[in-house]
Chain A
Amino acid sequence: MMPLFANILTEPVGVAHYLVVGAVLFVCGALCMATKRNAIGVLLGIELVLNGANLNFIAFGSRYLRDSQGTIGLDGQLMSLFVIVLAAAEAAVALAIALNFYNSFSSIDVDQADQLQG
């Protein structure tokens, strides 16, 4: 563990640093999805995961962080733009569904969703 962190702290900022932040966002999002009982909290976790991936795309696409051989170039930035738009659309739909759930159950606790099982 130690050499890895030592490298990251001493080296100039490169792709690896962005990847670490992206990975932290991903793990936070995954934890949030797994532990939050509030449907809105779970949706927030999903947004974190998507943004972790976005950060990766941007870092991999940047020409300042990698030489032109390894970079995915504009593809990375385009992909993250598409993901941002898609995340907004998905959030709109998921919030509408959460509202619909609230109308039926008077709660957005995902543990209340236990009518269907077996």
Chain B
Amino acid sequence: MNFSTLVDNLISDTVEVSLPLFVPELIVCATIVVLLTVRVFRLAEGLLLALALAALLIASGNDWLATPDQIALWIALAVLVVNRLVNTGRYSDPFVLALVGSLLAWWFAVPDGLLGNWTGVERQEIFTGMLVYDSFTVFFRMFLLAFAAWFVVLVRMTGLADREDGQDFYTLLLGATLGMCLMASANHLMTIFLAVEMASVPSYVMSGILKGRRRASEAALKYAVYGAGAAGVMLYGISLLAGLLGTAHLPTIAARLAEMDIPSLIASGESGGTLMVLALSALMIMVGLAFKLSAVPFHFWCPDVFEGASAEVDAFLSVASKAAAMALLVRVALGVSTAGEVNPEPPVAHRAVPAQAVSLLLSPDGEAASDFGELSRVAAAAPTLPTNAKSTPLSPVRSFIVQLLAVVAAVTCTFGNLTAYGQTNIKRLLAYSTIAHAGYMMMAVAAAVQLAGDNPDGARTAVAALVFYLGVYVFMNLGAFAIVAFLRNAIGSEEIADYSGLIRSAPVTSVMLTIIMISLLGLPPLAGFFGKLLVFYALVAASGPWMIALLVIAGINTVISLIYYLRVAKTVCIDPEPAARGPLSIGGLPAAYVFIVALPVVIYGIYPVPVQHIAEQASKYLLM
């Protein structure tokens, strides 16, 4: 194979296979470019719209409204043109741009047959193995983009992003969302690092977006310094792992680990150094992930940043950032610990241009360039591995990951719940609640890894439990932080004590806050209950001493969390109203927003089947 064939393959692979599966991310990119261009050249928007109109006309030919996708594009373009025309002579509303961009991206991210059987979501590697596209990617992309659209509406309603500086905020928001979408589909150590940074760097700025506030600037500094430090440590771990195994492609890493045959290495007692470096690199990568997950002992930024940043940004960090970090954790933990055993296909990129083709082409001996001998050797090693349950080459990797995750999850959960007790600031309390929930979710990942070896269906159920948990967690936390933001605008305080007796002046908001608190606690019949139930069920299904210990700890934690969640509910509903507080108005629109966001907590508590179905579909092609 000569160089031009390689380039031809690369181009055809990228244009014909990868890019069509990458459309939602491309739309987000285009929205960011438009937002920035409009910020710099006010006149550019009209030009860009004319270009888009021309492109759409040429692309559709004679069939204007042939497919739903085309109709969506036309509607989006019409909204943007109207937005441009009603704002002649000044900046057009960036809110409309951001909302149309994220909704359009969401539209293209929704799989065919959303509530039925998802089609076209089989696992395939795109961009020469850098990213992976499967039902899990599809779900998280849809989840994150839908959240971005809701969030754009929220920041507009609370006034955090106004007409003048809104472009900056929406650009950062969409940039972070893009990074999070990549986190959910990362399949290569480099994409993992790039995606984590793409998600983090805009978040640092967002947490300090309020100018002239001491607390916001302090929060941003702490977040940036800790975040960059954790990312640096993770990168060093990545360099060690990639160097040791000679690859950075996750399925190939799993194949190499299987080839190394760690059980016999341990038995022989030789190359203890290799194992030590492996464990060290795994721990270092875990530092970066734990920071994103706000898992103990890398949680300390979380309460400070949540208190200093505005409540809207907290909602973004506690939902989108956490969901993406969970998805990345699942990708890494299952990716490196399962190839070759449950996977009958060769784990290496099997398409026209495999992952390492470029490096092989330029390898010094020159003969590797002519064929894929090296690749097929690696690929062939995997399916011939012994498949009996206990002595598989990857079972030490799995048990290492399970124990690491189990310990971190148990400590995170307990720490979060115990520290939430003494909090008087609602944002700090919710920050510790976020930490505790990260612990519960990591338990599901630990169960999935434990089950991955000999029971892939069980592992998929455990991941489905995690996805369900996230699917209801988004409504609880977005609702809670939206309420905090609206109440801040109304009463100018974020102390729990100042919420006393709110039910008399703001009944809808208070009832919704109470419902959310009870759901976060996990009492039936609210949606949070089913989330916890499914996670606990996954732990039982995984069995083994570690999982039973986790189950007991999670149970005790739920009881501990009873007190502080109910204390908020009691303050809001039962305590007398302070005399000092004047008349209070939340406004009809904010109350409606809160109502709509929090309503699914009740609906999915009574009828959880749709979310459960989506969660099953989302994990359908994992481990394939």
Cα–Cα, bound, A109→B294 (Å): 25
Contact with B246, one of A30, A69, A110 (Cβ below 8 angstroms): A69
Interface of B is mostly: helix
Q: Is A97 an interface residue (CB 8 A)?
A: yes
Cα–Cα, bound, A110→B218 (Å): 9
Instruction: Write the residues of chain B forming the contact surface with A, with a CB cutoff of 8 angstroms.
Output: 189-190, 193-194, 197, 201, 204-205, 208, 211-215, 217-222, 224-225, 228-229, 231-233, 235-236, 238-240, 242-243, 246-248, 303-304, 307-308, 356, 358-360, 362-365, 368, 422-423, 428
Contacts of A29 in B (CB 8 A): 232
Establish whether residues A83 and B235, one from each chain, have CB atoms under 8 Å apart when the complex forms: yes
What's the minimum C-beta distance from B313 to chain A, rounded to whole angstroms? 14
Establish whether residues B205 and A101, one from each chain, have CB atoms under 8 Å apart when the complex forms: no
Contacts of A49 in B (CB 8 A): 229, 232-233, 235-236
Q: Is A20 an interface residue (CB 8 A)?
A: no
Establish whether residues B360 and A103, one from each chain, have CB atoms under 8 Å apart when the complex forms: no
Contacts of A30 in B (CB 8 A): 233
Establish whether residues B212 and A104, one from each chain, have CB atoms under 8 Å apart when the complex forms: yes
Q: Is A82 an interface residue (CB 8 A)?
A: yes
Establish whether residues A94 and B428, one from each chain, have CB atoms under 8 Å apart when the complex forms: no
Contacts of B428 in A (CB 8 A): 118
Establish whether residues B232 and A50, one from each chain, have CB atoms under 8 Å apart when the complex forms: yes
What's the minimum C-beta distance from B191 to chain A, rounded to whole angstroms? 10
What's the minimum C-beta distance from B283 to chain A, rounded to whole angstroms? 14
Establish whether residues A75 and B190, one from each chain, have CB atoms under 8 Å apart when the complex forms: yes
Contacts of A26 in B (CB 8 A): 236
Most chain B Cβ neighbours within 10 Å, of A30, A45, A74: A74
Cα–Cα, bound, A56→B243 (Å): 8
**Known contacts A72-B248, A116-B218: does B304 contact A82 (CB below 8 Å)?**
no
What's the minimum C-beta distance from B116 to chain A, rounded to whole angstroms? 40
Establish whether residues B204 and A73, one from each chain, have CB atoms under 8 Å apart when the complex forms: no
Cα–Cα, bound, A74→B246 (Å): 11
Establish whether residues A75 and B356, one from each chain, have CB atoms under 8 Å apart when the complex forms: yes
**Known contacts A60-B243, A104-B212: does B190 contact A113 (CB below 8 Å)?**
no
A49-82 vs B, CB cutoff 8 Å, 1 = contact: the mask equals 1101110110110010000111111111011001
Establish whether residues A86 and B197, one from each chain, have CB atoms under 8 Å apart when the complex forms: yes
Cα–Cα, bound, A116→B168 (Å): 26
Q: Is A89 an interface residue (CB 8 A)?
A: yes
Q: Is A35 an interface residue (CB 8 A)?
A: no
Contacts of B242 in A (CB 8 A): 57, 60, 72, 75-76, 79
